[in-house]
Amino acid sequence: MKNKALPISIIIFLVFCFVIFLKGLNNTNNYIPDETLGKKISSFTAINFFNEKETKSDELFAGKNFYLLNIWASWCLPCRNEHKILMKLSQNNSIKIIGLNYKDNLDNAKEFINDLGNPYFEILRDENGTISIDLGAYGVPETFVIDNNKIILKKFVGPLNNQSLEEIKKLIK
Amino acid sequence: MFISQLGFYSLIIGLIFSIIFLPVAYRDLFVNNNLISSNVFSILFFKLFFVLVSFICLIISFVNSDFSNETVYNNSHTTKPLFYKISGTWGNHEGSLLLCLLILVFFIFIFLITSRKEQKKYRIITLLFQEIIIIGFFLFLLITSNPFNHLFPSPKEGLGLNPILQDPILAIHPPILYLGYIGSSIILSSSIAAIIQNQVNNQWAKNLKIWVIISWIFLTIGIVLGSIWAYYELGWGGFWFWDPVENISLMPWLCLTALVHSVIVLEKRSLFATWTLVLSISSFTFSMCGTFLVRSGILNSVHTFANDPSRGIFILFFLFFLIFISLIVFFFFYKEKKIKQKNFLFSKETSILINNWFMMYFLSVVLIGTVYPIFLEVITNEKISVGAPFYSKLFIPFLIPFLFLMSIGPKMAWIRQNVKLFNIKIILLFLLSIFLSYLILFKTEQRTLFVSVLVIFSIYLFFTTIRDFFIKNQINFSQKISHFGFSLLILSIIMNGIFSREVITNIEVGEKHEFNNGTIYFKNINTFKKKNYTSIVGIFKIKENDNEEIYLEPELRIFNQPLIVTSEADIKTNFIADKFLVMNLVKGNDYYNIKYQTKPFMIWIWLSAILMCVGALINFFKRK
Amino acid sequence: MNLFKIIIVIIFFFFSLAINAQDSNSKLINKISKNIRCLVCQGQSIYDSQSDFAISLKLMINKKIEEGYTEKQIYDYLTNQYGEWILYDPKFNKNTFFLWLLPILVFLVGGWIIFRKTRFIKL
């Protein structure tokens, strides 16, 4: 081996690649972008679920409470599963739960609420899914935790469970 | 259940044979004759036998829907048609690895039998190194991916094979691809042996070339089958998506293509020995690297199998183990031979060198595009996507000079090109190409500079390769066919890209939709109940320009296990263009969303790729 | 009669402009959709995907086009919500500097190696 520079630099390069790949394996593969964390929730206007009136989101999030924005649909199975968590949370006085009904049939959605209970302080409708896009959501179910300054504290993609319930409780203390 | 146990213990026995092989073969190295001992032969034979038994056991388990076997449980269902029960054997992670192992032990046996004329020590070292790879696969299978895991109590029904995978083309696409990947393992082992034996010369190149061509043919067919399947099955009308798994099959392919050319130079002129070695080692490295990227879950793709980091860690260590051993052998044992020869600039050797240069560039584009997001995410925690626009932007500008060089390179003579390559006929052909591409592009909107020049050169290359059939020159027949196939492939892809048209709309039954060149009439809808799905067929009548009316009947399939809706496009193919119609449900509405595409020259893309393989096959049989 | 013909031509002209605008709108949305990753799918663009997310996103993009957003503004809007990951065409910024540069570097290094090896070769 006359020239030692080449083999040594190749070996260093390979070790570098090895380490990167090893670390890459440990990263989760389901990427949940948190671009919206820490930012104010976008304003939107939507039709009220029960009274068909146009409602501005800014008015809903105006108070001194913490808010939960929960995106749900009657055709979404995991939404059924997380509903009892929402019912539990609705008894907490420091947080108000706002529902966003996503791409749903109104009758089916009303039946869903009748069957499983209404934890929502107010429900709005996102008929074609564009409001959810404006919020930076992927689909259903998805839940945003919002403080009294309309800042997004945390986002849960997928159904809530007991663990997320504990996290939410900690955030709203 | 007995079958599963038989399969499992056969694997164990196979592994034991592999381990025994090492000292037996090593000792045979020092026996001074030119025959490999019959013990070596027997061990390899029995190992092949037992792995084959194991594989057959897995097939039987699938056919019998033996759900006490975890792999069968995860990937099959009693209502699957028999053909797909069988192909489901290798349509999952564990089964596909068992198939890879089977091919490995089969190929090592073939190498033993077909290398009788070569030197004994070289053969044994090749076998030894290959056996190390085999043991690695055995361990990987048995430790992380056992196809014979037992489930108790055994479930009554399986979780079902993904209906998208129930397709005849997809049934044979993986095995053929694996034949290509595994073939390159012999190339690696053979290179290691040649280095140690100081036999990196033209004789070795001659023997290696056979394996390179075989691997290349299988890999090409495997990739083309995958594209055909994607085009016919996935309903998007495309055939290449720069999806990570596609890219990882492209990388060894580019490597092998470069290797096919450089090994010819080594054989005929004893040049490029070092470079040929580098390519030989790289081909299998890329194959294994690809296995790592896809099966470890580190990349996000349509093709990924179930994520399992422990598998990823094993493959990663195994991959780097192979790389390091290859490097150690290369740097400690390899002595480059200084050959005193006259080398000239204008020669076939130089052309091939330039070909390799471009191949390596294209390879680097695919490699960097595929793995860069991983590096970026680990280092900076930022996540980006690298998709088709990246690859197009970096490929197309370099494809232009490549096509041009390909029209003159292969014609050059060995050692020195004396005769003038440029004459009036060539210039006329070139002018004709410019004129034709102007005609072709005149009515399209895609008259950017790059596209225009690209079309000119691809037409010129096309004409050149056709003309080569009629004149006597330095290219042999198989080469003419393969190169012609390649030029046709490039031309078809470009024309297809420029002239594809599509119409997307929502449409109800009985409705007529008008577009630029014609009308689509949604005549009717029929529903059928099939064995494991419900079929909804839409009947569409399409009239375009002055052509005859055609009927297209895309289908929606609603499967019960698992609950999936797939969309089957209806495609009418002829030599000019494909008419492609796909239909999708729009949730909660009575109308459907349809996409009607006209895709010119699709069939030429497939035919030209096959033509390339035909050329290679001709070369393969010539030496027999 | 002449005036009538002129009026017909003018009407057709504006009509074709409108159709072209519509056409180019749908061309634009197709072009953008092919560049946007479907975030809930495994490696599809929203152009190819039929998932809820993809359909909603296409509607949203259409709305933005009609509101007069340029292509770049739409990409900015989406990366603001979802990060750069949603775009298939990697931009050229400090993150992707090496991504674009390395292949070119490989080409140049390859060319340099060949140049050195063939420097002493006679023509």
DSSP codes, A88-109: HHTT-TTEEEEEEEES--HHHH
3-state secondary structure B279-300: HHHHHHHHHHHHHHHHHCCCCC
Q: List, for residues C63-85, the tens digit of each pLDDT value.
A: 899 888 888 999 999 988 888 88
Q: Which chains touch C (3 or more CB pairs under 8 A)?
A: A, B
Token pair of B80 as six digits: 């699957």
Q: Is the predicted pLDDT of residue B135 greater than 90, yes or no?
A: yes
Reported as a pLDDT band with limits 50, 70 and 90, residue C12 is low
Predicted confidence at residue C20, as pLDDT, reads: 47
* Mean pLDDT for chain B overall: 88
B181 touches B219 (CB < 8 A): yes
CA-to-CA distance for B126 and B120, rounded, in angstroms? 10
Predicted confidence at residue C92, as pLDDT, reads: 85
User: For chain B, how big is the Rg over CA atoms in Å?
Assistant: 27
Do B361 and C106 make contact, defined as CB atoms within 8 angstroms? yes
Which of C44, C88, C107 has the CB atom closest to B361's CB atom?
A: C107
Q: List, for residues A85-94, the tens digit of each pLDDT value.
A: 899 888 888 8
Which of A1, A20, A105 has the CB atom closest to B374's CB atom?
A: A20
Q: List, for residues B157-209, the tens digit of each pLDDT value.
A: 887 756 777 788 988 999 999 999 999 999 999 999 999 999 898 899 999 99
B324 touches chain A (CB under 8 A): yes
Predicted confidence at residue A59, as pLDDT, reads: 83
Q: Is the predicted pLDDT of residue B305 greater than 60, yes or no?
A: no
Judging contacts by C-beta atoms under 8 Å, the chain B residues touching residue A22 are: 313, 316
Q: List, for residues B364-409, the tens digit of each pLDDT value.
A: 999 999 999 999 988 888 888 899 999 999 998 899 999 999 988 8
Which of C40, C63, C85 has the CB atom closest to A130's CB atom?
A: C63
In chain C, which residue's Cα lies nearest the Cα of B356?
A: C110
CA-to-CA distance for B178 and B90, rounded, in angstroms? 11
Residue ranges per structural domain of chain C: 2-89, 90-123
Q: Across the strands, what pairs with A46?
A: A55
Q: How far is A1 from chain B (nearest CA, A)?
A: 7
Q: How many domains does chain A have?
A: 1
Predicted confidence at residue B418, as pLDDT, reads: 67
- Residues of chain B with pLDDT > 90: what percent? 52
ipTM field: 0.86
Q: List, for residues A2-14, the tens digit of each pLDDT value.
A: 578 888 999 999 9
B565 touches B559 (CB < 8 A): yes
A133 touches chain C (CB under 8 A): yes
Q: Which chains touch B (3 or more CB pairs under 8 A)?
A: A, C
CA-to-CA distance for C49 and C40, rounded, in angstroms? 10
Judging contacts by C-beta atoms under 8 Å, the chain B residues touching residue A33 are: 383
A145 touches A172 (CB < 8 A): yes
Predicted confidence at residue B283, as pLDDT, reads: 95
Residue A158 sits in a domain whose CATH number is: 3.40.30.10
- Give the B window 291-320 contacts with A, CB below 8 Å: 292, 296-298, 300, 307, 309, 312-313, 316, 320
Task: Determine which of B96-100, B433-437, C17-21 has the lowest per-residue pLDDT on average.
Answer: C17-21
CA-to-CA distance for A149 and A66, rounded, in angstroms? 9
CA-to-CA distance for B187 and A77, rounded, in angstroms? 52
Residue A65 lies inside a defined structural domain of this protein: yes
Q: Which chains touch A (3 or more CB pairs under 8 A)?
A: B, C
Q: In this structure, which amino acid lies at residue C66?
A: E
Give the mean pLDDT of A127-152: 87
Higher pLDDT, B69 or B622: B69
Residue A80 lies inside a defined structural domain of this protein: yes
- Cis bond leading into B244, ω under 30°? no
In chain A, which residue's Cα lies nearest the Cα of C42?
A: A30
* Contact residues for A168 (Cβ-Cβ < 8 A; gap 6+): A68, A89, A95, A145, A154, A160
Predicted confidence at residue B320, as pLDDT, reads: 94
Judging contacts by C-beta atoms under 8 Å, the chain C residues touching residue A46 are: none
Predicted confidence at residue C18, as pLDDT, reads: 47
Predicted confidence at residue B236, as pLDDT, reads: 78
**Domain boundaries, position A99:** 45-171
Token pair of A73 as six digits: 């649909």
Token pair of C94 as six digits: 């400090």
* Contact residues for A114 (Cβ-Cβ < 8 A; gap 6+): none
Helices (H) and strands (E) in chain B, counts: 17, 10
Give the mean pLDDT of B83-107: 92
CA-to-CA distance for B408 and B401, rounded, in angstroms? 11
In chain C, which residue's Cα lies nearest the Cα of B366?
A: C103
Q: Is the predicted pLDDT of residue C19 greater than 50, yes or no?
A: no
Q: Please tell me the class of the C2-89 domain.
A: mainly alpha
In chain C, which residue's Cα lies nearest the Cα of A133?
A: C57
CA-to-CA distance for C41 and B301, rounded, in angstroms? 9
Residue B98's alpha-carbon distances to B9, B76, B320, C44, in angstroms, are 14, 17, 22, 30
CA-to-CA distance for A135 and B420, rounded, in angstroms? 68
Helical residues (DSSP H) of C36-96, grouped into ranges: 52-66, 71-82
A26 touches chain B (CB under 8 A): yes
CA-to-CA distance for A67 and A64, rounded, in angstroms? 9
Predicted confidence at residue C13, as pLDDT, reads: 58
- Residues of chain B with pLDDT > 70: what percent? 95
Reported as a pLDDT band with limits 50, 70 and 90, residue B303 is low
Q: Is the predicted pLDDT of residue B491 greater than 50, yes or no?
A: yes
Most confident of B322-331, B338-347, B525-534: B322-331
Token pair of B290 as six digits: 């690809």
B45 touches B17 (CB < 8 A): no
Categorise residue A129: left if φ over 0, alpha if ψ from -120 to 50, beta otherwise. left
Q: Is the predicted pLDDT of residue C116 greater than 90, yes or no?
A: no
Query: Kind of pairing, strands A54-56 and B550-552?
Result: unpaired
Q: List, for residues B220-236, the tens digit of each pLDDT value.
A: 999 999 999 989 888 77
Q: How far is B302 from chain A (nearest CA, A)?
A: 13
Q: Which of B298, B308, B326 is the mutation pick for testing A, counting most A CBs within 10 A?
A: B298
Residue ranges per structural domain of chain B: 1-166, 171-338+349-405, 501-603
- Cis bond leading into C90, ω under 30°? no
Q: List, for residues B320-342, the tens digit of each pLDDT value.
A: 999 999 999 999 998 888 776 76
CA-to-CA distance for B190 and B126, rounded, in angstroms? 5
Predicted confidence at residue C14, as pLDDT, reads: 56
Judging contacts by C-beta atoms under 8 Å, the chain C residues touching residue B390 are: 88-90, 99
In chain B, which residue's Cα lies nearest the Cα of A24?
A: B378
CA-to-CA distance for B62 and B72, rounded, in angstroms? 6
A139 touches chain C (CB under 8 A): yes
Do A20 and B375 make contact, defined as CB atoms within 8 angstroms? yes
* Contact residues for B607 (Cβ-Cβ < 8 A; gap 6+): B488
Q: How far is C60 from chain B (nearest CA, A)?
A: 17
Give the mean pLDDT of B487-491: 95
Do C53 and A128 make contact, defined as CB atoms within 8 angstroms? no
Q: List, for residues A32-65, the tens digit of each pLDDT value.
A: 656 777 888 888 888 998 888 888 888 888 888 8
Sheet holding A95-102, edge to edge: A54-56, A45-48, A122-126, A95-102, A66-72, A142-146, A152-157
